[in-house]
Amino acid sequence: MRIVKGLIYIAIASTLLGCQKNNQTINKADDSTNNVVKMLCWSEYFDPAVIEEFTNETGIEVEYITYDDPDEVEARLASEPGRFDVVVTDDLAINILAKLRLLQPLDKSALTNFGNVSSEYLRKKFDTENNYSVPYLWGTTLIAYRADKIEPPEKSWKSLWDKKYKGKVMVLGDRTEGLGIGMISQGYPINSSDPRHIHSSSEILVEGIKISDIRLGSDAEIREGILSGDVWIASCYSGDAAMISAENENISYFIPNEGAPLWMDNFSVASDATNVKGAHLFVDYMLRKESAAMNANFTWYGTTNRAAVALLDEELLADETINPPEAIRSLCQLYYVPDANRDLLLNEAWSKVVDALRTKSKERLDVEVAGSVED
């Protein structure tokens, strides 16, 4: 949906942004502001028209640097000092990056549009005073499936372990997401520190790998697998599910009845940013209601910007999987940064999942080798 919706909204960009320029104007970059802002972010996470208009209004170019795995962010910030100004990353990373001094405190006085952010997304446990983060987009992890390959599955996370989908299931290969899904499928809190809950979650995944040949994959691998038909059912990020369903009408998706992990991506400023003023100008520009609406319409994710809601596409607002009603939303849970004990338990549990996957891969390879020898 990012690509398809993006093409549509570029066509109306001048209308929305024209209104924007009548209400607010940022001065062109002066001598104290560099003419480039370097942003580290997911790919296709902004409407190109919004970034282009930011450059037109301020004279500041945006160097868009992408990552594929959130674990990359910490490593790149630490190993490439001065390389990034703005960082867009998830809620779990904020607390960790701030403790490692890879982010700098925000200058709230420079964020004149901060008031557009809904209080619902502020003062979360990972940054209780929003000293380091400004909410951007939010979404859920849900289930996507090929309606031309299988009958509509039971609306439960347990559908991922169903033996009738053997060899055609993929789960996000992330420790937190994988084990979180295992816990929520059993009615446990996704942030549980109970060793029994965490152990049970890993056992479900291990059993699924052994019996149903469940595979682990990145968000990109899951998108590609479902689009190609090699994967029939998978855990998937909500915006990704909407995007690929727009490319193939046979792809459907739903939030399971047990609820779902909820995540939120945020703007931050790197501790060693070389263009701090430009970084704040960029974030503030994206907090404008027009900019926020266009970015949400383009990415097909939920916006944290309350002022932007009136400008959202009607189809997006009507999609209850992207904007679930309160009855479903109340079952969705944000992840919190684990304490040392829970972190250790998660590592131990996930290592069992990885080991099971390696064993299964070896067994598969042995069968293939044996087959080739017989031929």
Prediction pTM value:
0.81
Helix ranges, the chain (H): 2-11, 13-23, 48-58, 71-79, 91-99, 175-184, 195-212, 219-228, 238-247, 276-286, 289-299, 314-318, 326-329, 340-374
Task: Give the pLDDT of residue 364.
Answer: 72
Task: Give the pLDDT of residue 247.
Answer: 95
219 falls in which pLDDT band (50, 70, 90)? confident
CA-CA-CA-CA torsion sign (30, 33, 38, 41): negative
pLDDT at 24 > cutoff 70: no
Strands 261-269 and 134-146, how do they pair? antiparallel
Give one DSSP letter per residue of 269-317, joined into a string: EBTT-S-HHHHHHHHHHHTSHHHHHHHHHHHT-EESBGGGGGGS-HHHH
195, 122 Cβ separation under 8 angstroms: no
Question: The tokens 């090699």 sit on which residue?
Answer: 230
**pLDDT per position as a tens digit, 247-273:** 999 999 999 999 999 999 999 999 999
Q: What secondary structure letter does DSSP report for 232? A: S
pLDDT at 3 > cutoff 50: no
Give one DSSP letter per residue of 121-165, joined into a string: GSS-TTSTT-SS-EEEEEEEEEEEEETTTSPPPPSSGGGGG-GGG
Lowest mean pLDDT among 92-96, 129-133, 155-159, 278-282: 92-96
Average pLDDT of the chain is: 89
**pLDDT per position as a tens digit, 319-344:** 888 888 888 889 999 998 888 999 99
Domain parsing of the chain, residue ranges: 2-138+263-323, 140-261+330-360
18 falls in which pLDDT band (50, 70, 90)? very low
pLDDT at 4 > cutoff 60: no
Distance in angstroms (rounded) separating the CA atoms of residues 59 and 91: 31
Task: Give the pLDDT of residue 52.
Answer: 98
Q: Do 2-138+263-323 and 140-261+330-360 share a fold? A: yes
pLDDT at 22 > cutoff 50: no
Helix (H) or strand (E) holding 66: strand 61-66
pLDDT at 246 > cutoff 50: yes
73 falls in which pLDDT band (50, 70, 90)? very high
Helix (H) or strand (E) holding 36: strand 36-41
Lowest mean pLDDT among 13-22, 165-174, 195-204: 13-22
**pLDDT per position as a tens digit, 308-321:** 999 999 999 998 88
Closest by Cα among 122, 46, 98 to 282: 46
The CATH number of 2-138+263-323, from 3.40.190.10, 3.40.50.300, 1.10.10.10, 2.60.200.20, is 3.40.190.10
Average pLDDT over residues 4-11: 33
Task: Give the pLDDT of residue 27.
Answer: 56
313, 302 Cβ separation under 8 angstroms: no
Task: Give the pLDDT of residue 182.
Answer: 95
pLDDT at 17 > cutoff 70: no
Q: What secondary structure letter does DSSP report for 115? A: G
Task: Give the pLDDT of residue 169.
Answer: 97
pLDDT at 370 > cutoff 70: no
**pLDDT per position as a tens digit, 124-162:** 999 999 999 999 999 999 999 999 999 999 999 999 999
Domain 140-261+330-360, CATH: 3.40.190.10
Question: The tokens 């990020």 sit on which residue?
Answer: 237
Closest by Cα among 22, 86, 76, 81 to 51: 86
